[in-house]
Structure 1
Amino acid sequence: MIIGEGTWLSPGVVFHTHQEADIRIGCRCDLGPGIEFIVGSHELGSQERRAGKGTARSIVVGDGCWIGAKSVILAGVTIGDGAVVASGAVVTRDVPAHTLVAGVPAVVKRQLP
């Protein structure tokens, strides 16, 4: 777990950590209340038990990002520098630098200056 200098964590931010997967938050980021970072998941299992073998993949947030309240950032995601994640978004794939994403699942809404 690495949190860069000047980064703000609002109350209720939750980091679901795992020994095999890092969470790295860049410098000068602002994280809203109730965000969850989840590095773990499962492979799809058999019909007897659909949650198969456990997996863990790192999450990386670049410098200068703003992640809105109650967002969920899932395993294996990289959020590029200067990106904005709208409140309540569920980020399931990489977010390009300097873009605004929103929705469930999160999609690019626009490029930012």
Structure 2
Amino acid sequence: MSAEDRPIRVGARTNIYRGTEITGPVTIGNGCLVNRDGYLRSNTTLGDNVMVGPFTRFVTDSHEIGPSTKRGGANKWPPIIVGDGTWIGASVTVLGGVTIGRGCIIAAGAVVTSDIPDNCLAGGVPAKVIKKLSD
């Protein structure tokens, strides 16, 4: 697969700090910040004005469940979508197939394995909604 088939799109006024690794296709909106040593894998989309803390991982790489002789089956890359205005804290891991809504805060160190609705504070391992935030 060529680089043209795996584009990396970055919006205006977005800053990506040193050490960040991006494997497309990835889309990062306008006015975002991806702090140092971020890790963004294929099929990740960050909306506008998203802030990402240092050492945060967006991991879409996964596998189908294979037979007992080799449980890691065929590769798959379920998408990650992060809504506008969300703040992802330091050292968060977001797994493939997750949508994080608009205006959320994800607490440092969280592991996000399922969807988070708009305007929520979530944290923990696995991440759970802690409280609803004002709009």
TM range (shorter): over 0.9
Partner of 1:100: 121
Structure with the bigger RCO (C-alpha within 8 Å, sep 6+) is 1
Q: Once the two structures are superposed, what CA deviation does each residue of 1:22-69 show, in whole Å capped at 9, x if it has no partner?
A: 211011111000000111211222111111121111111000000000
- 2:88 maps to which residue? 67
**TM-score normalised over the length of structure 2:** 0.78
Shift of 1:79: 0.5
Q: Secondary structure at the match of 2:129?
A: strand
- Count of matched residue positions in the alignment of Structure 1 and Structure 2: 109
Q: Which moved more, 1:91-100 or 1:51-60?
A: 51-60
Q: Secondary structure, in 3 states, of the residue corresponding to 1:2?
A: strand
- Determine the structure 2 residue equivalent to 1:16: 41
Deviation at 1:16, TM superposition (A): 2.1
- 2:48 maps to a residue whose letter is C
User: Structure 1: how far apart are the matches of 2:78 and 2:52?
Assistant: 20
For 2:124 and 2:72, locate their aligned partners in 1 and report how far apart those are by CA, in whole Å.
Answer: 25
> Segments of 4+ in structure 1 off by > 2 A?
none
Rg (Cα) greater in structure: 2
Q: Give the fraction of aligned pairs with identical amino acids, expressed as a percent.
A: 40
CA–CA distance in structure 2, aligned partners of residues 9 and 67 of structure 1: 9
- What TM-score does the superposition give when structure 1 sets the normalisation length? 0.92
Please give the secondary structure, in 1, of the residue aligned with 2:73: strand
Q: 5+ residue gaps in structure 2?
A: 1-25
Quick one: distance in 1 between partners of 2:79 and 2:41? 11
Cα distance in 2 for residues equivalent to 1:23 and 1:56? 9
- The structure 2 residue matched to 1:56, chosen from 77, 83, 90, is 77
Instruction: Tell me which of 13, 29, 32 is aligned to 1:7.
Output: 32
* Structure 2 Cα separation of the partners of residues 8 and 91 of structure 1: 19
Runs (5+) with no aligned partner, structure 1: none
